Chain A
């Protein structure tokens, strides 16, 4: 089986234009697939369909050739899942939650659990209600990874994690891929999927608008850059640089928007004395607005 996930015309219509519409998607076995979209785009709705937690209005979804609804239990034998919203296990200790769900999953190696907890610095002796949101997320990651599933379905898995643990999570994802697992990872942060994903599907207002390789994704990527110079500002060179727009100059400070590579901008300022340079990644929604404001670019995206 070459496809880990396949959806055909998958639709969940909540009315008033909300939901998921006509999703055709293939995720190949062994790849890390990023599912990118702003809040409310339909990422969680898609994942809930894949997990058999919600039913489609029409269309179908399958995992390793198994129907996500008719064969939901079989599907879950192959899947590790992190929900977007952490559950509330109240007074159960972390290890009790692991024991409770681990018995249902089956095939959990205690050494594997210990190793994952060590990597994520998670104390399983504490009660669930005492966990911070980050620690709750770590426990959910341990639960998803503990039985070495063939497919990991992760709904915004890094939200609440500190940068160190995010890095550890990325390492765990890479290891899972090296071990032959497939990862389906939703996020609303463009830079996050760049860390680990092979391909990215972009969803907006319930519709898949683009599936890109990481190289193609760089075309979409936008940064707001602010550069402070010690002396004169090479304004004309910056304006002429490829992929640089919206240049404004104020005293010794320049603000601009960079699409794609930073190289043309770096070349333009190479001879000037740069005192400070800051770069911000705008929200995904802003990135989309920037990118899709040009109809020509939308055609490019559709052709990807």
Chain B
């Protein structure tokens, strides 16, 4: 049972293990590049980063000993990794409960006389093992990166690994418990996300204001942040470790009790269905039109990412003044914010932070769109569509048009939100530059979508994984190329590099042509592959 359950996490631990390894490795190497090797330089760097950290508390923990490599890795790498592993824990828990039930694996196991308690324990143990392997890879990345420059803190790394592992397992156990209440896998994912995001926001409150410390101590993210053992002078927070273990055990026991009291594929509490007027409503007319019908089916994805993008745009514009005003007097930050921005630090901030984050968000949007196309294939919907008088090339054309329209919508909502917020707080944005940088996000997303379309046209089950790896490698190349002084052709392998910095420096035409070439080749290849392949196996 444990072996079978662990097997279901194999791609998860490999994928996230690679991300953890790369993150700690890159940040360990980056520290020397950005902070220098002298004590004075590192102290100045730490001051500037500490000033910045207060404004980035939504993503980074409180800084501690940023004048050291170990402190920097703990803050810059292990900090955001909490967000990364959160996604894994949510998805894995919903899949372990509702995905397994949808695939009737649970029926099979229960029929094979596996008790419900043993099944829950096995799923927790299997994820624990997978998370441990990923966490070990994270430590190996730190060791490999840091050992090139200075002596490594093996004990501290083990301590941080322990807390990261406990964080993953705690979030998984909580989401596993939440999934007992909701019958569908998407509902379980949404409910798990809601719970984890609330816990995360509580931790963020604690980071920004000490008066919230009492409240934030219910959050596993706070327990995780509290361990600073990797940095010199840091400590392992025994209370946080103890609380994590207790929550894992409690959530496990409650999951067993809940699972024992509900039907397989049923929620913990089932209520008689009520008739509602909406159920009798006519189907949306959008379902009758090409492109509109696929947009309608993917409306949740488009609306969700539009909301996230708008919220992030509003937040970034809202904090622009305070971040810039507090950081501008620090020499390192002044250079960072005014470099290539014509001396305007606000432009520099918007370019570096907002459009940087927008690329990350929209790459996620592209992966999510492609996951829908791949699911259409594996769930038999493509077979149903192709049993109608529909050309195969039209399927790919519809996907391309959906990506185009959906991206334009998400980008427009994000830009309008940013512009509206800027007007509200009295920040003057260069409208032409915002427009330029915004519309170039459309070919940026289409580039990812085209690659995803090509992969999903022939290997739908691998599409999301491969596209995720591509997005990750693309960001990695973008980060590493200037640090490692890679040649331009290598740097241009990154989609981020092809996008360029249009807010500051105008359209990078070669990059734009490169993206358009990938779009044409990607969707063209997708059409060819779709034309040749067999469907419904």
Contacts and interface: CB of A to CB of B under 8 A. Distances in A.
A251 interface: no
B84 interface: no
Interface stretch (A52-60, A114-122, A177-185, A211-219): A52-60
Most buried by B among A87, A96, A126: A87
A31 B288 CA distance: 33
Contacts of A77: 389
Contacts of A2: none
Nearest to A44: B536
A86 B536 CA distance: 11
A77 B390 CA distance: 9
Nearest to B391: A73
A53 B532 CA distance: 10
B537 interface: yes
A98 B283 contact: yes
B283 A96 contact: yes
A89 B381 contact: yes
Nearest to A123: B279
A292 interface: no
A88 B387 contact: no
Interface string A78-111: 0101010111111111011011110111100000
Given A89-B381, A93-B279, A100 B535 contact: no
B379 A74 contact: no
B55 interface: no
Interface in B347-398: 379-381, 383-391
Interface in B271-306: 279-280, 282-284, 287-289, 293, 297
B389 A101 contact: no
B62 interface: no
A117 to B, nearest CB: 14
B536 A53 contact: yes
Contact of B288 (A54, A76, A103, A143): A103
Contact of B287 (A85, A88, A91, A100): A100
Contacts of B293: 100, 103
B384 A101 contact: yes
Contacts of B385: 101, 104
Contact of B535 (A54, A101, A106, A143): A54
A87 to B, nearest CB: 3
A104 B283 contact: no
Contact of B387 (A54, A76, A99, A125): A76
Interface in A39-72: 48, 51-55
Nearest to A130: B273
A91 B284 contact: no
Interface string A209-234: 00000000000000000000000000
Contacts of A125: 279-280
B288 A53 contact: no
Interface in B152-185: 184
B186 interface: yes
Contacts of B288: 99, 103
B388 A53 contact: no
B150 interface: no
A88 B186 CA distance: 13
Contacts of B384: 83, 87, 101, 143
A252 interface: no
A48 B279 CA distance: 35
A149 to B, nearest CB: 11
Contacts of A95: 282-283
Contacts of A83: 380, 383-384, 387, 536
Given A83-B536, A87-B380, A125-B280, A52 B297 contact: no
B283 A99 contact: yes
Contacts of B387: 51, 53, 76, 79, 81, 83
Contacts of B391: 73
Most buried by A among B279, B284, B387, B391: B387
A73 B389 CA distance: 5
A54 B389 contact: no
A53 B535 contact: yes
Given A87-B383, A93-B279, A125-B280, A101 B388 contact: yes
A129 interface: yes
Contacts of B282: 95
Given A53-B386, A101-B388, A103-B293, A88 B380 contact: yes
Contact of A104 (B184, B186, B279, B388): B388
A172 B184 CA distance: 34
Contacts of B389: 73-74, 76-77, 104-106
A146 B324 CA distance: 63
Contacts of A98: 283
Given A96-B283, A103-B293, A53 B383 contact: yes
A102 to B, nearest CB: 8
B287 A103 contact: yes
Most buried by A among B284, B388, B534, B535: B388
B486 to A, nearest CB: 44
A96 B534 CA distance: 27
B534 A53 contact: yes
A99 B288 CA distance: 6
Contacts of B534: 48, 53-55
A73 B379 CA distance: 22
Contacts of A93: 279, 283
A54 B537 contact: yes
A175 B415 CA distance: 58
A96 B380 contact: no
A94 B412 CA distance: 33
A155 to B, nearest CB: 10
A108 to B, nearest CB: 10
A44 B237 CA distance: 61
B289 A103 contact: yes
A126 B535 CA distance: 28
B381 A88 contact: yes
Contact of B390 (A48, A53, A96, A104): A104
A161 B264 CA distance: 22
Interface in A136-158: 143
A55 B392 CA distance: 14
Contacts of B280: 125
Interface string A192-217: 00000000000000000000000000
B388 A92 contact: no
B51 to A, nearest CB: 47
A5 to B, nearest CB: 16
Given A81-B387, A87-B379, A104-B389, A96 B537 contact: no
Interface of B: 184, 186, 279-280, 282-284, 287-289, 293, 297, 379-381, 383-391, 532, 534-537
27 contacts: A48-B536, A53-B383, A73-B390, A76-B390, A79-B387, A83-B380, A83-B384, A85-B380, A85-B536, A86-B380, A87-B380, A87-B383, A87-B384, A88-B379, A90-B186, A90-B379, A91-B186, A96-B284, A96-B287, A101-B384, A101-B385, A103-B289, A104-B388, A104-B389, A106-B389, A125-B279, A129-B184
Query: Top 5 closest A-B pairs, CB basis?
Result: A87-B380, A104-B388, A88-B379, A99-B283, A103-B288
Given A51-B386, A93-B279, 14 more contacts: A48-B534, A52-B386, A53-B383, A77-B389, A88-B381, A89-B379, A95-B283, A96-B287, A99-B288, A103-B289, A104-B385, A104-B388, A104-B390, A125-B279
